[in-house]
């Protein structure tokens, strides 16, 4: 029969063994965690954004959603016109090919824009212009009702005269030329209603003079 002293020593020994075993297990777990952290894969870094975006033709520096401007047209595809007396012009390059200024006072200017291909089509562009003036969109029948055809040596173009609602009226007289060489040209006279109206006749004569000349002559 065990004495109380023997029983107490056995309990103390058992408790010490349990504490030692627990300490060993803690050490194993700690080591296992260190090993797991050392073997974990490093965090992946996002790729650099300085390269070309898909569809940008591989052009460098166009990785932030920018659209590369169309290449300058060759001489055979460059639109020419006869500038009305008193008007000035500035060749811009890129999509906005030129800016023309009538000689009369007031807020009015003419932009000449070239885009490759159909550029969305005539209906979509006219409705975009109408939206800029706060006007409702039109369908194909409505487009035909407001379209004025002007024959030119560069091809047939559609002319649209649009006036905004409201007290202060903005007027836009816009011409769209879908040329046979594959480019689309826009000529838009915009500004306050009165100076735009004062230059309508000159703008129409400018449109009638449009042509393509490979020799570079005006």
Going by C-alpha positions, the residue among 174, 199, 200 that lies closest to residue 105 is: 199
15 vs 78 pLDDT, higher one: 78
Contact, 67 vs 205, CB < 8 A? no
Query: Per-residue confidence at 56, pLDDT binned at 50, 70, 90?
Result: very low
The tens digit of pLDDT for each residue in 161-182 reads: 999 988 889 999 999 998 667 7
Residue given tokens 């969109």 in the structure block: 137
pLDDT at 49: 31
Going by C-alpha positions, the residue among 194, 193, 195, 153 that lies closest to residue 177 is: 153
Interacting residues of 127 by C-beta distance below 8 A, sequence separation 6+:
137, 138
Region class of 117: left (phi > 0), else alpha (psi between -120 and 50), else beta = left
The rounded distance, in Å, linking the Cα atoms of 79 and 69 is 17
Cα dihedral sign for 130, 135, 140, 143? Answer: negative
Contact, 11 vs 2, CB < 8 A? no
pLDDT at 182: 76
Residue 28 domain-assigned? no
Residue 32 domain-assigned? no
pTM over cut 0.85: no
The phi, psi pair for 21, rounded to 5°, reads: -65, -40
Q: What is the percent of the chain with per-residue pLDDT over 90, rounded to a whole number?
A: 48
CATH number of the domain to which 175 belongs: 3.40.1000.10
Residue 10 domain-assigned? no
Residue 98 domain-assigned? yes
Residue 24 domain-assigned? no
Q: What is the torsion angle, in degrees rounded to the nearest 10, for the CA atoms of residue 196, residue 124, residue 119 and residue 67?
A: 90
pLDDT at 149: 95
The tens digit of pLDDT for each residue in 8-22 reads: 555 555 555 555 555
DSSP-based three-state secondary structure for 95: coil
Count of domains for the chain = 1
Q: What is the mean pLDDT of residues 17-38?
A: 46
Distance set, CA 69 to CA 38, 59, 66, 138, 202 (Å): 50, 11, 9, 29, 30
How much is the mean pLDDT over the chain? 75
Residue 114 domain-assigned? yes
Q: Which domain holds residue 202?
A: 75-212
Residue 6 domain-assigned? no
Residue 17 domain-assigned? no
């Amino acid at each position: 029969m065990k004495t109380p002293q023997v029983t107490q020593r056995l309990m103390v020994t058992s408790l010490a063994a349990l504490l030692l075993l627990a300490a060993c297990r803690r050490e194993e777990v700690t080591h296992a965690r260190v090993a797991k952290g050392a073997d974990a894969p490093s965090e992946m870094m996002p790729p650099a954004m300085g390269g070309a975006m898909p569809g940008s033709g591989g052009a460098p520096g166009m990785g932030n959603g920018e659209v590369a401007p169309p290449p300058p047209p060759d001489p055979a595809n460059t639109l020419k016109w006869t500038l009305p007396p008193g008007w000035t012009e500035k060749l811009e390059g890129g999509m906005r090919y030129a800016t023309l200024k009538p000689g009369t006072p007031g807020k009015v200017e003419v932009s000449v824009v070239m885009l490759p291909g159909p550029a969305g089509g005539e209906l979509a562009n006219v409705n975009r212009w109408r939206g800029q003036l706060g006007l409702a969109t039109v369908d194909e029948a409505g487009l035909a009702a407001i379209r004025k055809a002007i024959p030119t040596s560069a091809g047939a173009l559609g002319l649209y005269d649009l006036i905004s609602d409201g007290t202060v009226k903005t007027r836009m007289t816009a011409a769209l030329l879908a040329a046979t060489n594959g480019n689309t040209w826009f000529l838009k006279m915009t500004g306050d209603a009165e100076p735009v109206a004062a230059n309508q006749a000159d703008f129409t004569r400018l449109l009638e003079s449009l042509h393509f000349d490979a020799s570079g002559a005006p």
